[in-house]
C-alpha cells in the first residue's frame, strides 16, 4: 500500500516568503515528501527560517540539523548518497538538536521495512546508503596513505573494539551481553560450526590481528594458519601467538589466500568475503574447494543484504571502502553450487551487527578527545558517520550477516543442527 504523504511545511507562518526561500522549501518538500512520517525533523539553513517535517512521536527524538550555507544544502539535495556524509564530515551540516545517531534512527524508522520498492527518491537514496555501509577494510581504504593508516590503525581500533580486537559482527545470544562476551560468544558459535577436533589443520582467511585463530587454538588442540595482507596485522598477530605460547600451533603468513598450498581440515573466514568483490566469487569458492580436505568443513561469515544485488554507495566507496561489495545471498550461492560444494547450513544473523556497532560507536564517541588529537575533527566525524550509518543499515536497511557452512560431502556435517548449541555449551568459556 502507498502511504499518504504526511510531511508538512510548518514554516509557512505569518510572513510571506522570498522567492529564494520558496525555491528551497519546494526542493526540501520534494526530497522529504512522504518520507518523514514518524518523528520530527527540522532543517535550518544559515540565515533562513526553519522548515519542519513530520510530527513528534514517542520513542523518536526530535532532530534539528543546520546547513552552514545554502550551497552545502543544495549539494546534499543534488546527490545525498555522497554529499550528506561529506557535509557532516566537513562541518557543513551540524546537529542543533539530537545526535547523528538520533538522525539516523529517525531516518531508519521512516525507512522501515514495510514498503520496499514503493519509496520516493530520498528514501531510496537513504536506503542505498544504509544498505551499503560495511566493514572498514584497512588494506583497501588506505591506498593513498598506507603507512600512515597502518601505523595508526591498531591504535585507532583499540579505542573502540573489544580487548581481543575482533573487527567483525559479535553474536548476542542474550541482549544484555557485554561486547567482550558477545565477541567471545561469536568465536564459540563459529568453533562449534567448525566441528573442531584435536590435530586438525585450520586455515583462517583474513585473520586480522589473530583473535579468532588464537581463540580456536585455545578451545581445541588444532593448528591454525592465518593469512592476511596487512603487514601490521601480521606482525601483531605473530607477536600475540608468541606471547600466548601458541607459536608452535598458530602461524600467520603475509600472503593472499589464493597462494595457500596444501589442504586443510577446516577453513574459516570472518569478515573477509566483503572484500573479495563479486567478479571473484567464482575463484573464491573454487579456492575453498581446492584447499578443503575431502572430509573438511568451511565456514564463511560475511555481511550480506536481504534484497536484490546493487552497487556500493558513493560516499562509502570514496571514504571508507574503495573495494568493498556486500552481496545478496542470490549472488553467493551460484558460485558455491558451481564449485561442487554443499551449503550444509545458512544462518542469517539479523541485528547482531547493529548491536555490535552501537557498542563500537559508544566507545568511539567516548574517546573523542584522543581521536581528535591523533587525527582531526574531520576524521572523527567521518568515522562517527560511518559507525552510525552502518548501525542504521543493519537496523533498517536490509543488511545482515550470513554464516555459510560448506562441505564437500553430504555426510560430513551432522544431520541435525543440534550439535551447534551442544558444542557451544561444552566449549571452554
Q: Which is nearer to a second copy, 6 or 116 (CB)?
A: 116
Residue 278: how many other CB atoms lie within 10 Å:
15
DSSP 318: I
Task: Find, among 183, 208, 212, 129, the residue nearest to 352 by Cα.
Answer: 183
Distance in Å, CB of 167 to a second copy, minimum: 21
Residues 195 and 375 sit within 8 Å (Cβ to Cβ) = no
Residue 408 CB partners (closer than 8 Å, separation 6+): 289, 292, 294, 295, 296, 340, 341, 342
Distance in Å, CB of 199 to a second copy, minimum: 23
Q: Which is nearer to a second copy, 14 or 416 (CB)?
A: 416
Q: Which is nearer to a second copy, 37 or 372 (CB)?
A: 37
Distance in Å, CB of 58 to a second copy, minimum: 18
Distance in Å, CB of 337 to a second copy, minimum: 5
Q: Position of cell 571473484? A: 280
* 368-50-42 Cα angle (round to 5): 50
Distance in Å, CB of 360 to a second copy, minimum: 18
Q: Position of cell 601483531? A: 236
Q: Which is nearer to a second copy, 148 or 350 (CB)?
A: 350
Distance in Å, CB of 175 to a second copy, minimum: 8
Residue 27: how many other CB atoms lie within 10 Å:
14
Q: How far apart are CA 353 and CA 191, in angstroms?
A: 19
Residues 203 and 264 sit within 8 Å (Cβ to Cβ) = yes
Q: Which is nearer to a second copy, 113 or 163 (CB)?
A: 113
Beta bridge partners of 41: 53, 63
Q: Which is nearer to a second copy, 9 or 329 (CB)?
A: 329
Q: Which is nearer to a second copy, 133 or 252 (CB)?
A: 133
Q: Which is nearer to a second copy, 15 or 425 (CB)?
A: 425
Distance in Å, CB of 166 to a second copy, minimum: 18
Q: Which residues bind a second copy (CB under 8 A)?
A: 113-114, 116-117, 171-173, 175, 294, 306-308, 328-330, 333-334, 336-338, 340-352, 395-396, 398, 400, 408-411, 413, 415-418, 421
Count helices and strands in the chain by DSSP H and E runs: 17, 11
Residue 316 CB partners (closer than 8 Å, separation 6+): 129, 132, 133, 134, 324, 386
Q: Which is nearer to a second copy, 31 or 341 (CB)?
A: 341
Task: Find, among 76, 81, 80, 17, the residue nearest to 51 by Cα.
Answer: 17
Distance in Å, CB of 344 to a second copy, minimum: 6
Q: How far apart are CA 336 and CA 314, in angstroms?
A: 29
Q: Which is nearer to a second copy, 141 or 170 (CB)?
A: 170
Q: For 409-420, b where at least 16 C-beta lie within 10 A, e where not — what string?
A: eeebbeeeeeeb
Distance in Å, CB of 350 to a second copy, minimum: 5
DSSP string, 153-182: HHHHHHTTS-TT---S----SSTT--HHHH
Distance in Å, CB of 246 to a second copy, minimum: 30
Q: Is 276 left (phi over 0), alpha (psi -120 to 50) or beta?
A: alpha
Amino acid at each position: 500500500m502507498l502511504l499518504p504523504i504526511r510531511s508538512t511545511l510548518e514554516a509557512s507562518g505569518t510572513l510571506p516568503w522570498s522567492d529564494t526561500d520558496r525555491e528551497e522549501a519546494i526542493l526540501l518538500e520534494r526530497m522529504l515528501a512522504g518520507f518523514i512520517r514518524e518523528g520530527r525533523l527540522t532543517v535550518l539553513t544559515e540565515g533562513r527560517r526553519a522548515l519542519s517535517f513530520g510530527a513528534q512521536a514517542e520513542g523518536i527524538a526530535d532532530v534539528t540539523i543546520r546547513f552552514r550555507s545554502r550551497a552545502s544544502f543544495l549539494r546534499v539535495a543534488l546527490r545525498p548518497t555522497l554529499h550528506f556524509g561529506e557535509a557532516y564530515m566537513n562541518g557543513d551540516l551540524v546537529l542543533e538538536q539530537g545526535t547523528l545517531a538520533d538522525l539516523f534512527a529517525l531516518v531508519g524508522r521512516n525507512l522501515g521495512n514495510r514498503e520496499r520498492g514503493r519509496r520516493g527518491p530520498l528514501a531510496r537514496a537513504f536506503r542505498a546508503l544504509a544498505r551499503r555501509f560495511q566493514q572498514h577494510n584497512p588494506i583497501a581504504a588506505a591506498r593513498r596513505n598506507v603507512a600512515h593508516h597502518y601505523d595508526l590503525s591498531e591504535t585507532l581500533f583499540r579505542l573502540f573494539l573489544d580487548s581481543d580486537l575482533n573487527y567483525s559482527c559479535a553474536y548476542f545470544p542474550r541482549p544484555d551481553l557485554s561486547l567482550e562476551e558477545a565477541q567471545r560468544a561469536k568465536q564459540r558459535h563459529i568453533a562449534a560450526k567448525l566441528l573442531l577436533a584435536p590435530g586438525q589443520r585450520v586455515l583462517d582467511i583474513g585473520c586480522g590481528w589473530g583473535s579468532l585463530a588464537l581463540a580456536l587454538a585455545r578451545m581445541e588442540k588444532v593448528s591454525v594458519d592465518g593469512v592476511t595482507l596487512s603487514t601490521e596485522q601480521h606482525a601483531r598477530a605473530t607477536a600475540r601467538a608468541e606471547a600466548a605460547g601458541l607459536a608452535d600451533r598458530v602461524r600467520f603468513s603475509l600472503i593472499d589466500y589464493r597462494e595457500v598450498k596444501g589442504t586443510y581440515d577446516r577453513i574459516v573466514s570472518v569478515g573477509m568475503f566483503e572484500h573479495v568483490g563479486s567478479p571473484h566469487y567464482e575463484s573464491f569458492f573454487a579456492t575453498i574447494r581446492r584447499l578443503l580436505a575431502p572430509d573438511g568443513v568451511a565456514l564463511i561469515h560475511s555481511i550480506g543484504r536481504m534484497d536484490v544485488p546493487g552497487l556500493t554507495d558513493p560516499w562509502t566507496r570514496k571514504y571508507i571502502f574503495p573495494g568493498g561489495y556486500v552481496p545478496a545471498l542470490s549472488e553467493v550461492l551460484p558460485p558455491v553450487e558451481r564449485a561442487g560444494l554443499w551449503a550444509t547450513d545458512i544462518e542469517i544473523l539479523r541485528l547482531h551487527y547493529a548491536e555490535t556497532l552501537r557498542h563500537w560507536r559508544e566507545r568511539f564517541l567516548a574517546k573523542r578527545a584522543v581521536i581528535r588529537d591523533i587525527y582531526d575533527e574531520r576524521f572523527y566525524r567521518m568515522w562517527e558517520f560511518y559507525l552510525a550509518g552502518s548501525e542504521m543499515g543493519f537496523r533498517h536497511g536490509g543488511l545482515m550477516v550470513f554464516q555459510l557452512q560448506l562441505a564437500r560431502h553430504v555426510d560430513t556435517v551432522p544431520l541435525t543442527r543440534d550439535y551447534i548449541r551442544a558444542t557451544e555449551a561444552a566449549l571452554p568459556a
